[in-house]
Structures are given as structure tokens and as C-alpha cells.
């Protein structure tokens, strides 16, 4: 079975994340969207809220014969991938700066778990500049994020911060 994890903070989930998930579906039998609990970040949504939003959005992805699930984790991605019995880690790359960072992470993950491969997806052109951090900043400053994040996520952001 070809099983992958797609780790990230997903705070918030963006249409760029969904693009990577959709394009990775044909390559795997199962993908676990893996929500990182990073205590160093100040998240807009709790881990539980992020997992629930992703679970609500998953049915719209179709699956294309691939099972999609959601799990949260703390600690090293490579160790979580091994724990999940994954053979691959899916990552999205938007720009050269992402590549440099992701390459270092992939090499460290390979050092920690040599049998787990990292698979990179280039961001789709409409999402090449979209990041969770940027979406939060734009939203908090009153800018429009429609078309860049799922409608459900935008509604949850508005519910959390109704003055926006």
C-alpha cells in the first residue's frame, strides 16, 4: 500500500494546500493530512478546530480512489511518518526559498527514516504566493481572501473575528 502523510500547520487551510492534496491523490492509496501541533506558533485555530475543518472539506476532494484522513501530531515529521507506516511525505513548494528549506528538511527526514521518501509538488500557478501566514495577515488587516482559502475556512475566520 502506498501511504503518504501531508504535514503542515494548516492554520488556516488554503486552496494551495487543497491543490497539492488533489494532485497527490493519484499517486497514493492513502493520504493522512497531518496537522502539526507547534507550540512555538500563535495559531488562529486550535489543532482540533483545524482537524475538524479539514474533515469537513475532505468529501469535496473526491478521493479519486485514495483514502484521505486527518490526524494531528507533535514532534518530528519523520517519526510521525514511521508511526503512521507511511512510505512518503508530501510537501508543496511555492518558490526557490521554499525549495531550500524543504530540501534541508527532506534530507534530515531521510537521515532519520531512510525508507521514507519526500515527494515535492510545485504550487499551482494561482497559489504560488499563497501561504497560511499571508492569508491570516491579509484577513486580519481587512483584505479579501476569497478564492484563496476554502469558503468554510473563511466563514470560520469571520466567526472567530466578527469585526473583520
Q: What is the CATH number of the domain that holds 34?
A: 3.40.50.620
Is the peptide bond between 12 and the residue preceding it cis, with omega within 30 degrees of 0? yes
Select which of 17, 50, 136, 156 is catalytic.
17
Backbone φ and ψ for 87, nearest 5 degrees, come out as -105, -10
CB atoms within 10 A of CB 111: 9
Rounded Cα gap, residues 47 and 90, in angstroms: 20
Rounded Cα gap, residues 71 and 28, in angstroms: 17
Q: Which residue has the cell 495559531?
A: 43
Q: Is 132 a catalytic residue?
A: yes
Q: Is the pLDDT of residue 24 over 90?
A: yes
**So what's the pLDDT on residue 54?**
97
* Cell representation of residue 91: 510537501
Q: Is 97 a catalytic residue?
A: no
Residues 3 and 140 sit within 8 Å (Cβ to Cβ): no
**So what's the pLDDT on residue 61?**
87
Select which of 24, 34, 131, 132 is catalytic.
132
CB atoms within 10 A of CB 82: 16
Range of the domain at 117: 3-160
* Cell representation of residue 34: 497531518
Residue 17 bridge partners (DSSP)? none
Select which of 2, 41, 158, 160 is catalytic.
41
**So what's the pLDDT on residue 29?**
96
Alpha helices, H only, 58-147: 77-83, 96-112, 132-140
Residues 40-84: pLDDT tens digits?
A: 878 999 999 999 999 999 998 887 789 999 999 999 999 999 999
Q: Is 136 a catalytic residue?
A: no
Number of domains in the chain: 1
pTM of the model as a whole: 0.94
Apex CA 91: angle with CA 65 and CA 50, to 5°?
75
Q: Is 144 a catalytic residue?
A: no
Instruction: Indicate the DSSP class of residue 146.
Output: B
Select which of 23, 94, 110, 128 is catalytic.
94
Residues 15 and 127 sit within 8 Å (Cβ to Cβ): yes
Amino acid at each position: 500500500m502506498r501511504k503518504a502523510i501531508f504535514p503542515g500547520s494548516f492554520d488556516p487551510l488554503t486552496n494551495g494546500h487543497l491543490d497539492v492534496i488533489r494532485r497527490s491523490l493519484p499517486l497514493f492509496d492513502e493520504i493522512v493530512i497531518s496537522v502539526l501541533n507547534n507550540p512555538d506558533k500563535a495559531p488562529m485555530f486550535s489543532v482540533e478546530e483545524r482537524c475538524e475543518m479539514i474533515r469537513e472539506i475532505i468529501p469535496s476532494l473526491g478521493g479519486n480512489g485514495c483514502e484521505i484522513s486527518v490526524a494531528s501530531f507533535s514532534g518530528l515529521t519523520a517519526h510521525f511518518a514511521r508511526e503512521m507506516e507511511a512510505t512518503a511525505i508530501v510537501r508543496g513548494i511555492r518558490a526557490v526559498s521554499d525549495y531550500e528549506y524543504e530540501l534541508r528538511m527532506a534530507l534530515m527526514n531521510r537521515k532519520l527514516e531512510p525508507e521514507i521518501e519526500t515527494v515535492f509538488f510545485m504550487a499551482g500557478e494561482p497559489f504560488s504566493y499563497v501561504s497560511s501566514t499571508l492569508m491570516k495577515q491579509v484577513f486580519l488587516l481587512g483584505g479579501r481572501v476569497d478564492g484563496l482559502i476554502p469558503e468554510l475556512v473563511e466563514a470560520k475566520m469571520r466567526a472567530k473575528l466578527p469585526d473583520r
